[in-house]
Structure 1
Amino acid sequence: MLMSVSHLSKYNNLKCIAKDISFSIHERDKIGLIGLNGTGKSTLLKILAGQEDYKGEIIKKKDIRINYLPQIPSFQPQNTVLEQVYEDVGHDVAEYEIKSILNRFQIINHSQPISQLSGGQKKRVALAIALIKPCDLLLLDEPTNHLDHEMIEYLEKYLTKFNRALVMITHDRYFLERITHRMLELEHGQLYTYEANYSLYLEQKAKREESLQNAQHKRKQFLKKELEWVRAGVQARTTKNKGRLQRYEALSQQADLPVTQNLEMIDTASRLGQKTIELHGISHRFDHLLFQPFDYLFQRNERVGIVGINGSGKSTLLHIIAGQIQPTSGEVEYGETIRIGYFKQGHEDMDDNQRVIDYIQEEARYLKTRQGEFSAKQMCEKFLFDKELQYTPIGRLSGGEKRRLYLLKVLMGAPNVLLLDEPTNDLDITTLQILEDYLDSFQGIIITVSHDRYFLDRLCDTLFVFSHQQIQVHNGGYSDYIITSNQTSSNKPKSSTKKPMRERKVRLTYLEKKELESLEADIPALEQKLQQLDEQLNQVTDFHDIQELSNQRNALENEIETKSIRWLELLEKEEQ
């Protein structure tokens, strides 16, 4: 056992985060920590990392090494990227390993000051640090935020093979499904444990809630009958009557199951006319070309997902459609009825000292919907900001609560075109499910940039795929696109269609013998060349040189892997 948590309690002011909870973490556990925004998931992770105080007892294995990825990293702004990594991981890790994983997360300028990095880049540096440093327990708070699909797939494979304990908070349901085998759910200060991945957790949770509801119903029925008996004026003169009265008192003092409030989405969209948005040959460049001229006519009620690697121009396209920047070439034509709501990454520019209700009333004091007119206060309540929270400074909200508040402000503008830039970041899974249901019935156009594969599959019927400075249109969701891409790759002519070696009971041919001898000489030579490249990487400082050497190293690793697989095939055939 790595860690044992007993009778843990934690309060933030009057808010209960944890009330007398107990659980344990074992070696090679892979745990998903879930719960509604604001329930205290990040706080619990900080407690496990030793960064928050608490009441109770936590017993840790001697000399345990814990790596922690916070939701918002804190770095020294004057450090360069490489200096910051060394400050956090020490100098026991080879420099080429550090540079390799930073490059994997598209942090290629290792001498760039931390102060010049965006929030997303800082999160990727922090993730690289968490993965580089050897540990016994890895704690990750929203690790997929600010990663593109290729990085997420790499991280997924890495964590699947990871042979140490892992506890992570994530809204990525595919991630939870494929990596975790145990779920911890934080709800109303209590912690519920499920020995399951995400899909099995849903089944087990539904059964648990049904069982608790049935038990509560039986208790209330029993109390109703017992109340009639008590009102009949039965005197507690006998031992039997005394015991019955005591049981009644005990059961009547039991609290009812807490009611979980869910986000209430209502139809806020304005009427959308026949003419929508048309892109006429739009293209954009900064210091280099992002994407070539692109034409598209959005259909009424269309749902478009935008995917591609970081830096390919996905958010730039949303900025252009929103009219916040002008394309380098081409133009955007809008219908007269178009009203755009733009839900950007992060929490916009929120004033932490401003009250929640004042932030919403800046957009509108009343909102007309198909269900009637609602005040800003009523809308706040529908978005789970009760009367007390409405007069709370924004700075005291959790990251997920700020994100939810920002979404409400966007919807208060009654848009009929929604531009969503990474809308799933920091939202809990329950809120995501409600948001997805709302977007299904949204009477307007939805254009979203998202790395959440489940969200794209659930919502989108069209994809804009950014690849090699072009935008390709694909009909269908993300999984459909991946299947189509794989089929296209598999249909390409292959250099060999031989059956697997273990199925062919024939001897090595003369050419295969020569190939085997050649491979036995080539592989050690390539490995020596790889070692020389590693030494070069430790000596260079220019990031362009580092990038070039890293690319050479990756190509060399792939060549060694390919030749090693072929060598094993020929060796197996020779043994047969």
Structure 2
Amino acid sequence: MNLLTIENLTKSYTDRQLFDHVSFSLGSGEKVGVIGINGTGKSTLLRIAAGLEEPDGGTVSMGNGLQVRYLPQTPVFKEESHVLACVLSGNVTEQNKWDIESQAKAMLNTLDIPDFTQPVEELSGGQRKRVALANTLLSSSDILILDEPTNHLDSEMAGWLEDYLKRFRGAVIMVTHDRYFLDSICSRIVELDKRCLYSYQANYSGFLQRKAEREAMALAAERKRQSLLKTELAWMMRGARARSTKQKAHIQRFEELRDAKAPESDAGVEINSVKSRLGKTTVELHGISKSYGKNILIKDFTYIFLKDDRIGVIGRNGCGKSTLMKIIMGAEPPDEGELVVGQTVKLGYFSQENEYMDLSLRVIDYIRNVAEYVPTADGSISASQMLERFLFPPDIQYTVIERLSGGERRRLYLLRVLMEAPNVLILDEPTNDLDIRTLMVLEDYLDTFPGIVISVSHDRYFLDRVTRRIFAFEGNGTLVQYEGGYTDYQTAAERKRAEQEAFENDRGQNGRPGGQRENVEPAAQAWKQDSRMKPRKLKFTFQEQRDFETIEGEIEALETGILEKEAAIEEAAANYGRLSRLMEEKQELESRLEEKMERWMYLEDLAARIEAGETVS
């Protein structure tokens, strides 16, 4: 049974058409994810479905007596309201008035909003979004309409929301960029693309496969049309006689083939080789500590970033992730410790909130203020070409920024950061408000980015896709290093928790209460604290020791591989396809060899300093 039906929907804003006679329906209990690039009308579709915006044409019908709740992308609250009142607003009934408040408080605690009396004006944008989410979820609804519900949720909260929506018996329509979230919850994906709506009865993984099949079929049909058109054109060139009905029908078929529209393909997004050279000294943090009052955010953190590092920083909201990024940027001084930044380092910072934008500027002028031309592997290209590659076609480039959607402004801001050619890229919650396709483009770009990437993110898919090392804030200012992406971190963290629980249980069974340390513990802790005050001998980390033992063999193997590729290239001189592939493989091996040589030089230098008995504070 359909709860909601939209038929022949049309909607335009000024000169931009969002929907061209599209139709959509929502069945009982369905969980539907809406995706598409920023500016295609995802949020508009949700507002129309919620009855908050009128279409230009078409009909919207809903079952009688259905309760619908809508979570906006940017919530607005009544002035001088406090947190608990905002969550309870519209949710108190005669049936639930005795227990609704305790439910609201429990949900707020889960979403890390512990001060129920705090005025909403004092909340950050992320906190406001979580208060609005609590208000929406607390309602008794038949349909939940959620616009970016995972924005500003840490991984633990996103997992909680995932479980909640799986148990929810009503229907859900949501816009989200979280691909793991879509995979886990949605039974159908709706894609908005070039004014059309495509429905796929699948989760996100299934959608990717079925979209590829749809596009392949469209291309095959276009090839057939072109072949027929070529045949018909040859017939026309021979001279069509228009006197008979048969000949007129032939001419009409030619004109229909000629005037048919070819399928529109997605624009390519390329920003290759927009970079600056990175020297030997990169970014180094030595004994960094930072507190606000009694709140310890970072305590004695040391790390030297390597040239190809892909670092993910995770932790609960408010734990200090953004503060750490600001310290690296030099925008926030540490209380203790030293920040060293190499002379060749050029930092690019994509902040959690967009930098100030002059909304009266045209899109192209905003980019031209960075550079009129940008060097790429194919030579210099103009700002206009760069915008087009980044999904801003010519008809939008001369639009003022004020007319762009929030997501389009975020994409424009990202392009500006990348065009500044940084070699150390700091991304603070890059997935907030960026559409999935732009995220895929960014991920592909980062694969070949010849510099350091440091990303604060709660997006599990993004972290798995991009990062190779995780630093997790684990309480009291402590950052713990994990190798791999988010899934690797999660596995290692769960194993560590299980081992800790087993250890505590074992201690309890041996006559000591679980969770209590032996008397030797304070002494050991005192020694540990004291050792921080004294110089310590410089030594390899576990990873550095392992690399030092194996890197010469890896270099030798790469050199051998390059020689083998060179021999194969000589043999394949007459086979262009194989030659091209071998050249690419050789280039990749040479790139990896260069990285390994830089790592070897760093480790050799460190080994010499260790042998000389150097110490660190």
Distance 1:116 1:490 in 2: 39
Matched, 1:471 2:479: yes
Aligned equivalent of 2:139 = 133
Aligned equivalent of 2:422 = 415
Deviation at 1:262, TM superposition (A): 3.1
Counterpart of 2:331 (choices 324, 329, 343) is 324
Aligned equivalent of 1:6 = 7
CA contact (8 A) 2:273 2:375 kept: no
SS in 2 for 1:196: coil
Deviation at 1:255, TM superposition (A): 1.4
Q: Which moved more, 1:131-140 or 1:260-269?
A: 260-269
Aligned equivalent of 1:211 = 217
> Which residue identity is paired with 1:456?
L
Aligned equivalent of 1:34 = 35
Aligned equivalent of 1:72 = 74
Deviation at 1:335, TM superposition (A): 1.1
1:144-159 aligned within 5 A: 144-159=150-165
SS in 2 for 1:226: helix
Matched, 1:305 2:281: no
Aligned equivalent of 1:520 = none
- What is the CA deviation profile of residues 267-321 of structure 1, one whole-angstrom value per residue up to 9, with x for unaligned ones? 2110001111111100111131112111111111101000111111011000000
Matched, 1:454 2:454: no
Aligned equivalent of 1:543 = none
> Which residue identity is paired with 1:138?
L
1:264-283 aligned within 5 A: 264-283=270-289
Aligned equivalent of 1:201 = 207
Deviation at 1:432, TM superposition (A): 1.0
CA contact (8 A) 1:322 1:340 kept: yes
- What is the CA deviation profile of residues 58-86 of structure 1, one whole-angstrom value per residue up to 9, with x for unaligned ones? 11000111111111112223211222223
- What is the CA deviation profile of residues 182-209 of structure 1, one whole-angstrom value per residue up to 9, with x for unaligned ones? 0111111111111101111111111111
CA contact (8 A) 2:67 2:142 kept: yes
Counterpart of 2:493 (choices 482, 485, 488) is 485
Counterpart of 1:401 (choices 392, 408, 413) is 408
Distance 1:216 1:370 in 2: 32
Aligned equivalent of 2:251 = 245
Deviation at 1:496, TM superposition (A): 9.9
Aligned equivalent of 1:95 = 101
Deviation at 1:237, TM superposition (A): 4.1
Matched, 1:342 2:342: no
Deviation at 1:411, TM superposition (A): 1.8
Deviation at 1:104, TM superposition (A): 1.1
Which structure 2 segments of 5+ residues have no match? 507-617
Deviation at 1:242, TM superposition (A): 3.5
Matched, 1:116 2:122: yes
Distance 1:355 1:88 in 2: 41
SS in 1 for 2:271: coil
CA contact (8 A) 1:267 1:371 kept: no
Let me know the Cα RMSD of the aligned residues.
1.9
Cα distance, 1:252–1:387 mapped onto 2, change above 3 Å: closer
Distance 1:365 1:252 in 2: 39
CA contact (8 A) 1:265 1:435 kept: no
Distance 1:35 1:190 in 2: 11
Equivalent residues, number: 497
Distance 1:103 1:352 in 2: 38
Cα distance, 1:362–1:227 mapped onto 2, change above 3 Å: closer
Distance 1:391 1:252 in 2: 31
Scaled by the length of structure 2, the TM-score of the pair is 0.78
- What is the CA deviation profile of residues 89-137 of structure 1, one whole-angstrom value per residue up to 9, with x for unaligned ones? 3455511111111121111112111111111111111111111111111
CA contact (8 A) 1:16 1:188 kept: no
Deviation at 1:494, TM superposition (A): 8.4
1:254-273 aligned within 5 A: 254-273=260-279
> Which residue identity is paired with 1:9?
T
Cα distance, 1:251–1:134 mapped onto 2, change above 3 Å: same
SS in 2 for 1:2: strand
Distance 2:344 2:90 in 1: 53
Cα distance, 1:414–1:138 mapped onto 2, change above 3 Å: same
Distance 1:346 1:189 in 2: 29
Counterpart of 2:368 (choices 338, 361, 374) is 361
Deviation at 1:258, TM superposition (A): 1.9
Instruction: Give aligned-pair identity as a percent.
Output: 47
- Which ranges of 4 or more aligned residues in structure 1 deviate by more than 6 Å? 494-497
Cα distance, 1:310–1:11 mapped onto 2, change above 3 Å: same
Cα distance, 1:146–1:496 mapped onto 2, change above 3 Å: closer
CA contact (8 A) 1:137 1:165 kept: yes
Distance 1:78 1:88 in 2: 17
Counterpart of 1:178 (choices 172, 179, 184) is 184
Distance 1:351 1:269 in 2: 26
Distance 1:131 1:290 in 2: 31
Deviation at 1:495, TM superposition (A): 9.9
Deviation at 1:15, TM superposition (A): 1.1
Aligned equivalent of 1:44 = 45
Distance 1:415 1:349 in 2: 20
SS in 2 for 1:89: coil
CA contact (8 A) 1:265 1:434 kept: no
Scaled by the length of structure 1, the TM-score of the pair is 0.83
Cα distance, 1:363–1:64 mapped onto 2, change above 3 Å: same
Aligned equivalent of 2:434 = 427
SS in 2 for 1:140: strand
Distance 2:505 2:310 in 1: 42
Deviation at 1:229, TM superposition (A): 1.7
> Which residue identity is paired with 1:241?
Q
Distance 1:158 1:148 in 2: 15
SS in 1 for 2:89: helix
Q: Which moved more, 1:43-52 or 1:75-84?
A: 75-84
Deviation at 1:420, TM superposition (A): 0.3
Distance 2:33 2:484 in 1: 30
Counterpart of 1:376 (choices 367, 373, 383) is 383
Distance 1:253 1:136 in 2: 46
Distance 1:442 1:45 in 2: 36
Distance 2:35 2:176 in 1: 7
> Which residue identity is paired with 1:361?
R
> Which residue identity is paired with 1:258?
E
Distance 2:482 2:237 in 1: 71
> Which residue identity is paired with 1:344?
S
- What is the CA deviation profile of residues 352-384 of structure 1, one whole-angstrom value per residue up to 9, with x for unaligned ones? 223323333333444344543344333333323
> Which residue identity is paired with 1:232?
R
Counterpart of 2:58 (choices 45, 56, 59) is 56
> Which residue identity is paired with 2:81?
N
Aligned equivalent of 1:16 = 17
1:276-295 aligned within 5 A: 276-287=282-293, 288-295=295-302
SS in 2 for 1:317: helix
SS in 1 for 2:241: coil
Q: Which moved more, 1:352-361 or 1:452-461?
A: 352-361
Distance 2:320 2:378 in 1: 38
> Which residue identity is paired with 1:302?
D
> Which residue identity is paired with 2:63?
K
CA contact (8 A) 1:422 1:448 kept: yes
CA contact (8 A) 2:364 2:383 kept: yes
Highest RCO, 1 vs 2 (Cα 8 Å, sep ≥ 6): 1
Aligned equivalent of 2:544 = none
CA contact (8 A) 1:31 1:167 kept: yes
Deviation at 1:484, TM superposition (A): 1.6
